[in-house]
Amino acid sequence: MKNQQEFKTLRAYNINWLKNASEKCGAQNMVINSKPIGNIGVAGQHPKYGKIYTDVSPSEFLKLIKNDIYLCEMISDRHYPYKMYFDIDGDNKPENFKETIINKINEIFLDADISISGSETEIRKSYHIILNNYHINNKVERLKFQEVVKYLKLNVDDGFDLAVYGNGKLMKTIHQSKPKDKGQRKQEIIFNDDERKHVITAFFNEEPKSLKDVKFDDDISTYLKNIELNKPLDMAKEPRIKIKMNIPTLQNIENLQALELLKLAPLSKKHSHNYTFFVMLFCFNNDVSFDSFIEWYKQKNNTSEKAHSKGQQ
């Protein structure tokens, strides 16, 4: 009964759709959460019914997008993998705008199977670029890929859009235009005539690559490493272990030296790399000797060679 009050089903374009029937919304998430594996989540803007949502098979999807009815592909953290993609927009850009973007992407993602769609006017140039043989396989990879795109936005061109990544994001499909731009800024195929190559969440290449296969240059590697260093450590994700030592009172902790605090830091084989790295930075910034850090680190791994390699990162 609750779902019947909050959502409404309807028939449009020979397909069943779901729309919100209350201010609580949630129709999009309902479709995303209930979508069968292999189907494509679709969002549309109907002239009579407004925002509508559904999921269809890949073959149905290719038939559906033939008509310009403003359809978008739904991207979510609930369904992986999907292809790496970029949304590029720019006003009054130079003539080599597209070539500059493509050249940089090809420089980073070697042998990329690229498809490009978009629209070009005298003022605005807009492109969707999909890497068919590079996949995002989980949220961790998605977040890292976003940082790569942010680097490109800061250092290559500000046309890279960061707002298209995350849970429940929408990407306009080929042959579509927004209602206000009807017939003017249509998402037309620019490169790669195979329509399947312009779909993000289906029609996957065999043996795709991931971010693990990408060898970033020194500038991007340094940028990504600095991002990791500036992230706060989430102690709630670290394992709980029993402390086998006397814990000083709060009054005495204020008078402890850095080396004494290091000895109080818990450590086991289950603790993460981020945790031990933060402790290493603490030692470095507080003049705790490398040998003292290694002695502490042996609680996690007593292999001398691995322990020393930790300190050289």
Q: Is 119 helix (H, G, I), strand (E, B) or coil?
A: strand
Q: Which residue carries 């329509």 as its tokens?
A: 195
Q: Which of 194, 34, 216, 55 is nearest to 130 (CA)?
A: 194
**DSSP single-letter state for residue 209:** B
A 10 A CB-CB count for 26 gives 14
**Would the pLDDT of 115 be above 60?**
yes
Per-residue pLDDT tens digits for 215-255 = 999 999 999 988 877 777 777 788 887 666 566 555 566 66
* Residue 265 CA: distances (Å) to CA of 155, 241, 286: 39, 11, 15
Give CA–CA dist 110/295, Å, rounded.
42
Sheet of strand 114-120, all strands in order from the earlier edge strand to the far edge: 82-91, 124-136, 114-120, 188-191
* pLDDT value of residue 310: 47
* Total count of residues recorded for the chain: 313
- For CA atoms 243, 245, 247, 253, the dihedral sign is negative
Its pTM stands at 0.76
Average pLDDT (44-71) is 95
* Residue 106 CA: distances (Å) to CA of 71, 100, 110, 178: 28, 10, 6, 30
Per-residue pLDDT tens digits for 249-265 = 555 666 678 888 888 88
Beta bridge partners of 222: none
* pLDDT value of residue 1: 39
Per-residue pLDDT tens digits for 166-208 = 999 999 999 999 887 766 789 999 999 999 999 999 999 999 9
Which region holds residue 135: left if phi is over 0, alpha if psi is between -120 and 50, else beta? beta
* pLDDT value of residue 226: 87
**DSSP single-letter state for residue 13:** T
Per-residue pLDDT tens digits for 63-81 = 999 999 999 999 999 999 9
The amino acid occupying position 299 is: Q
